[in-house]
Every structure is written in C-alpha cells, then in structure tokens.
Structure 1
Amino acid sequence: LFELAEFCKPNGVRVALENIFTTEPGQYRQTPAEVAATVKAVGHDNLVALIDFSHAYLESTYRGLDFREQLRAMAPVAGHLHVHDSFGRPQGFYEAYFTQENTALGIGDLHMPLGWGDIEWASIFSELTFLPGTVLMMEISRRYRAEQPASLKTAQHLMSLNAVGTQLAAE
C-alpha cells in the first residue's frame, strides 16, 4: 500500500481503502476500525480510508460492534465517503429472488435514498471530522433515480455540518 501511495503521489492521486461487509461465513473482513488502523500504520498522505456508511453499519451489526465507534475510528483518516441508506441488517448469507424482497425486509446493502433507512446522518456528520478535500459520493441505486435530487440536497446539508471542505460527487 505504501508503494502504491508513493506511486500516486506525483500525480496528486489518493488511494482510498474501503471498508466492506461480510457476505458469507468464514470470510476475512477488516472492521472499519481495523481499516483505519491499516491506513495509520502505512502512514502515507496519499492513502486514505473510504467510509461506506452502510457497509460499516452492516459489518458492525454482524459482529456486534458499536457502529458509531467504528465511524469515529475511521473519520480522522477518511478522505472519501460513500453515502446511501440502509437499516444495518445483514443479508443472512442468502440471495433474495427479487431485490424488492431485501427492501421490503430492510436487509442488506440497499443503496436507498438518504433518510429512507435508519442511519442518523445529521448527528454523525455533526460529530465527525474528515480529512480536508474529502469526497462525498452518493451511491443511490438506479431504482431510486427519482429520489436522487432530494438525496443530493440532504448530502449538501450534511456537508455543511462538517468542518472540512468536502467535495460532492453523485453516482
């Protein structure tokens, strides 16, 4: 990771190490706090953490961790954020026949519009501080295209709650 970050340095590129969630028993996954520890251990300005809030919520629920504590660990080294809503209920290691089943049951990585799940966005963004130049990217699924403008307004409000100059990208 250090070598990759060093390679990126001359071009001003930052490598972002994303937290992910367990999808089947026996997988190795770093917790969000462990991702933060890895970034700190590498100690290179061109390596940052990427907080995917829904992923952190799912993995915290699965492992019985404090979701907010995991976010607090990542925030000081976070330079990229993925926002989309969910309920933090792990999938249970099965695939639904229809995506709508997951939404109806509130399980999995739902990529719902901000405010549709139960992530406490305003209090999270009021509490945490991210690295300068952090990019916030909405990952609202195509299924909710009509709701993306409202999520964009919510994301802009969240950025105003945070102390650093966060850039916004929508996907």
Structure 2
Amino acid sequence: MANPREELLQKAIGYFAEHGVRDTSLRTLAAAIGTSQRMLHYHFGSREDLLVAVIESVIETDAKMLTELFANEPDPFEAGRENWRITAQHAQTFGALYFELSSHAMYGKPYAHDLGQAFVTRTQEAFEAAYTQLTDPKTARRLARLTLAVGQGLMFDMLVDGDRAASDAAIEEFIAMMRTHLGT
C-alpha cells in the first residue's frame, strides 16, 4: 500500500508545477487534488509546512539524480551534459515552480529559509566533487559555482523564450570551454 502522505505530496507538487504556488490556500489545493483540507492539515500541518515538504522533495530528487550521474559516469563533462538534458526536460514541468520557490527565499519567507542550502549548496557540492578530479579544490569550488550559474541562467532563458536549441548549444559551448580551460 502506498504512503498517503507521499501520494498527497506528489499531487501537490504536480498541482504547483502546473499552476504555481502563488497564494493557493490549502482549501483550494485540496479541492484541486481530490482530498480535504483536513487531510492536508493532518499530513502537513500548515500551508508553509506543505511548501517545505514540496521544496525538500524536489531538492532530494534532484540531488540524488546528480550524485548518481557523477558516480556512474567517469567523464564529469559527459555527466554534466546528461545532467543538462535531464534538467532541461524536467524544467518543462518544474522549472517555473523552481524559480517561484526561489523567489520566496529571496523575499525571506521563513519556510523557504533553507532553499539556499538546497538549491545552491547541494548542487554546487556535486559539481565541486566532479571538478576536484580535474583540478585543485579552490578552483573546483569556483568552477562549480560558475557551472551552477550557467545552468540556472540557461534554464531560466529557455523557460522564458522557449528556445531549447539555443540553450543546448550554449551548454555544448560551455562544456567545450571548460574542457579547454581544464586541459582535458
């Protein structure tokens, strides 16, 4: 039997991915995903607690995928290319939610306090570990931050202008530049 909390969480994530978080109340969300406000309160507490669960779920899924990619692919640039392919594909569904929740952190919403750790630090650490195979730790950290910024920027552009081909081409150029920079 499936976990009812997890089922509700996945439905909430799907709803927010399609409609955004905005000022959606638990009552509105419950009606939209086929449950009651009482069940959402029971499993998550407040709206803010539900948003924390959404953030944690999305981050955990992304972090696990990235860690597995770098663990299973010996060439970190190929792992990075595959990460971009998966990220660009997922961005079609979850990209706007990612940026909306990021803005909650920028506005200092208490439930989004740990987003910096989740959206930036954990992803940067995965890239840093990959670059450490190719260069010194200080350079690896700097290049990891650059890689994260390039990927996030291209994802943002792709979501705004819809030009996946241009973002794919830019990623290929970035990979070539990094290979040259690192002499690999």
The alignment's TM-score, normalised by the length of structure 1, stands at 0.32
User: Could you say which structure has the higher strand fraction?
Assistant: 1
Based on CA coordinates, which of the two structures has the bigger radius of gyration? 2
